Every structure is written in structure tokens, then in C-alpha cells.
Amino acid sequence: MMGPWRLGDVARSGSVGVRWCPGGQRFALPRPPGVALARALGIALALVLATGCNGLLGGSGSSVNADTAGQADTAGQADQYPSDATGDAIQNSDGSLGDLPVGDDGVGDGGADLQGAETSDDGSTGADQGEADQLDHDQTGPDVHTPDLVPGCLENGQCDDGVECTKDLCGLDGECTNTPDNSLCPQAGQCFTSVCMPVVGCQQQPSSGSCDDGDPCTTNDTCSGQVCAGTPAWTQACHYAVAPDIASCTGGSLTQATKLEALQVVNHIREVSALQAVSYVPAGDTQTQNSALMMAANAALSHTPPNSWHCWTQSGYDGSNSGNLHLSSSTAPQGPFHPSDSIVAFLIDEGVPSLGHRRWLLDPFLPGVSYGSVHGKAKVASSYPYVVSSTLKVIFDSDASISSSSLGYIAYPYQDYPSEYFKKDWYLSFSALVDKTSRWGNASVSFSGATIAVTGPGNVAQAVSAVEWNNEGYGLPNHLQWKVAGLKDGESYTVKIGNVKNGSQTLSFEYWFRLD
């Protein structure tokens, strides 16, 4: 009997490679093309050859092991090279291996041999009495493991789980891994954290802590309720685009936020008085800023400032001559102020008997506004050297068109009115709008014989005092003003004005107001 077979024996054989197995059995393979290929086949060829001694070579190249009944394993296929009853290989006359199947009795019957004899683990011929082996044993050679083929991946692309935020990798063991990676999720905002969740992908979760709301007029910005918000703070950075310097007579400039707030306050005042909104006029900014600078430098107000004033300029003079002026003085540094501080003061106009500032704000022909503001230390000696000044330009070369307006008068206060816009011990006012095509067409209105009646809760008459009227050109050139004592918030009052003359016409008006 031939001794143990080695892989090199195949390469050195003749037309066929012959392996001798224990018990005198043998099987043959076609001659390999040469030593180089035989060596290149490596362990894969060794696995195939090793399984040959166990009885059958499956058509797919895998071994077929018998179960306890001698039946072919379901993983095998019919033999390409069946053995006879004694295990001898069948060879055709031309030297090739026979391809006719041989039955259990060694006679070719044209059918696949599914119960052919095999060499069992103990070297005898016959059906294996144990479970089908994963390791094929012979008596003299080492055991060779034939691994099962497990479906798996060959490249990363086969592991795509369809989730945008996982890293999909194919491992060396053919297994896919899909690892969540938060960095692959887009960041939705400062107050959200993006988290990668298996299966569902990127999810946004609220976060807390500090943030930046992008508003220079807030401080201590914090995430709350998934929104970044700060505490309002009217800082110098919020107020000025370029900070002013009174000492060097530099007026600076305001931020768009400051200008926008000024416009919003003006338009809200006009809205609650049933007047149309106005626009902001950037062309007036130089005048208003230089006007405010002059007022601050000299710690004084004038609509016709002399050229002897500190920081005097022609543009500052023009702004002062066409605007409402406001000045606040203090012994300590102050400001800057919100635009609303000075603009609401213009509306109430406390201490100004003519109510000229209010009348310009409530002018139905007002086309727009420009706003300027400066704060710092005045250039003149003063007991109150720290000042904040502002100028609101209200006089322009042309008037707004109001021909389509249905308004017949301007009353202050009017209907539901913000209480912060009114001082109860100061003047109420009224102007008649009889000509909507020309401002000066309203100068013909006379209140010389007018009557004023105000009734409050329970239709009780309220005392009216300090009645004055004029046709001066502050805004609309007809004006009536009076005081009413004891007005209260939340109570409705009715105002009736009669015997108003406009040429040959006699006019009367009625309206109501409530301070909220």
C-alpha cells in the first residue's frame, strides 16, 4: 500500500493524479497543468483532495458526508466521479475518468448514486455509523477543516443601511457594522443638538446654555424653549454704528436698529390716532445727528442755534430748525436712551403750552421722519454736565398726500389709547381736517366760539378748563386744547365739540376715548 499522499505527488503524477487511501482505495483527478499552478492552488486544492478519501466528490467541489443511514448529505450533489462498490475509480478506455454513475451493486444503472459505499471514520468500507463529519479523518494524515460558506459582505457599499448618519463598514469577517456618528448630522441651530439614532437617523434635541441671538441690544443670551434670547439692554454698541465724541465735535451715526425703533414709535403713535404711517428718510440723518451733537455740546436747545456755539455746522442748524429737540441733563454719566424716551416726551409735550411737538407728530400731512441722538459730557461748564440729546426731523420740503383719507379730525387721546402716551393733568387737544389737499387750507377753521363737553361714567359731566386755541403753523394750522381733571384709566369718556366755524360753515364733532 502506498504511504501518505502529499500535495506535491499530484504534480509529479502522469496523466492523472492518483491518491492512495487507507484500505487500498484510490481516486484519480485530471492531471493539473503544472507544478506552479498546483502550488498556487494552495490550501483550497488540499481541501478538495482531502475530502476525496471520504468516498464522494460533490459536483460543486464540496464533500458529501453520509448520515447514519448511509444517505447522501443534503448539502452534496450527485458524484461526477463515482466509485464502485469497493471504492475503485472507474476509468474509460481513453484514460479519462468514467462519467457513468455506478449503483450500490457496482453496475451502471444510469442514475445518480446517492447510497454508494464510502470509507468510514474507522477505515472500513460502508455507511458511517455516526453523524456526518465536519472533519474528514483518515488513519495516517492530519485532520483538514472544510469551512461552510456564510453569506456576508465583500465591500462597504453592501452595508448601506439607508441612514444618513451612520458609518457603514464591511468587516474582515464579512459582517456589516453601522455605527451612529453625530458629526454626520447637520446642526439646526444654537439651541439644538443633532443626535444620530439607529434606524431613524438624525434627530434634533433641545439644548441649553449660552448662545448669541445676533442682537447687539440684548445681553446674557440663553437658550430657552429651543430659542436663543437675551435680556434687552440699550448699550452704546446697540445705539451707535459709529460712537459720537463731543470733545472732538464728532457726531457719529446710529445703527439701523435705533432708526427702526424711532420709526416704529412714531408710527404707533400715529396708528392709535387713526393717522397713516410715515417712512424713514435717511437723507435727513446728517442734519439730525449734527443737530443732536450741537445741543449736547452746548447743553442747551435752540431751533436757531448761533454759529458761536460749540460744534456748530450748517447741517446741524438745518436739522435744529426742522425738528423736534429734546435734552436730558444729569450730574452723572447717562445714556444712551431709547428713541421712545424722547419721542413719547414730544407727544405728551409737558411744559410746552403750545404743544408744538405733539402737533408735528400728529400732523396728517407728515411725509416721514429722521432721527439723531448723542450722549456724553457737554463742552460748556454746567451743574449738569452729562447730557443726552435727540432730534426728530418733522419738517420737509413736501407734504404727504392724504386725499383718499376718510379722517375728518385729529383728536388726542382717541378711542382706546395707551395710558403711557398721556398725562392726565395735562392738555387734551383737537384739530379739524377740512381740506385734505392742502395743509394751509385748514387755517380757515376757527374755535373762537367753540363749546367743549366731556362726560364720563354714568354720563356725568366732567369739568373742562384751560381752553386755548390758535391757527399757528405747528403741523395742522388749527388747534384747540383743554384740560379735564380726574380722568381715570379704564373709564370711557365722550367728547362733544360744537360751534366750530369754517368760513360760512358751522361744524360739530363727537368722539370717545378710554385710557388703557
Domain ranges of the chain: 1-148, 150-233, 236-400, 403-516
State the helix-helix crossing angle for 285-298 and 314-321, rounded to 10 degrees: 90
pLDDT at 108 over 60: no
DSSP 314: H
d(CA 83, CA 494): 122
* Alpha carbon 295 to its chain's center: 45
Confidence label for 446 from pLDDT (cuts 50, 70 and 90): very high
Q: Map grid coordinates 360751534 to a residue.
A: 499
pLDDT at 3 over 90: no
- The per-residue pLDDT for 208 is 85
Those residues with Cβ within 8 angstroms of residue 428's Cβ, 6 or more apart along the chain or in another chain? 412, 413, 481, 482, 483, 484, 495
DSSP string, 108-140: --SS--SS---B-TTS-BS--SSSPPSEE--SS
Cα separation values, 6 from 61, 143, 509, Å: 19, 14, 124
pLDDT at 415 over 60: yes
Q: Give the mean pLDDT of the chain.
A: 79
Asked if residue 479 lies in contact with residue 467, where contact means CB atoms within 8 angstroms, the answer is no
Those residues with Cβ within 8 angstroms of residue 305's Cβ, 6 or more apart along the chain or in another chain? 294, 295, 298, 312, 316, 317, 320
- The per-residue pLDDT for 456 is 97
**Stretch 361-370: mean pLDDT:** 98
Which range is most confident: 24-33, 168-177, 206-215, 408-417?
Answer: 408-417
**Stretch 484-513: mean pLDDT:** 97
| CATH 3.20.10.10, domain 236-400, yes or no | no
C-alpha cell at 339: 428713541
Which range is most confident: 110-114, 131-135, 308-312?
Answer: 308-312
Nearest CA-CA partner of 117 in 248, 27, 5, 238: 27
- The per-residue pLDDT for 218 is 84
Q: Map grid coordinates 400728529 to a residue.
A: 362
Decide which of 377 and 224 is more confident. 377
Confidence label for 38 from pLDDT (cuts 50, 70 and 90): very low
93-102, 285-294, 424-433: segment of lowest average pLDDT: 93-102
What pLDDT, in 10s, does the model give residues 263-281?
Answer: 999 999 999 999 999 999 9
What pLDDT, in 10s, does the model give residues 454-497?
Answer: 999 999 999 999 999 999 999 999 999 999 999 999 999 999 99
SS3 per residue for 305-317: CCCCCCCCCHHHH
SS3 per residue for 209-234: EECCCCCCCEEEEEEECCEEEEEECC
CATH of 403-516, one of 3.30.559.10, 2.115.10.20, 2.60.40.1220, 3.30.565.10: 2.60.40.1220
Phi, psi of 258 (to 5 degrees): -65, -45
Residue type, 180: P
Decide which of 331 and 100 is more confident. 331
**Stretch 288-316: mean pLDDT:** 98
pLDDT at 419 over 90: yes
**Stretch 197-223: mean pLDDT:** 87
pLDDT at 117 over 70: no
User: For residue 112, how many other CB atoms are within 10 A of its CB?
Assistant: 14
Residue type, 422: F
C-alpha cell at 389: 440729546
d(CA 478, CA 216): 43
- The per-residue pLDDT for 402 is 95
d(CA 298, CA 379): 6
- The per-residue pLDDT for 151 is 61
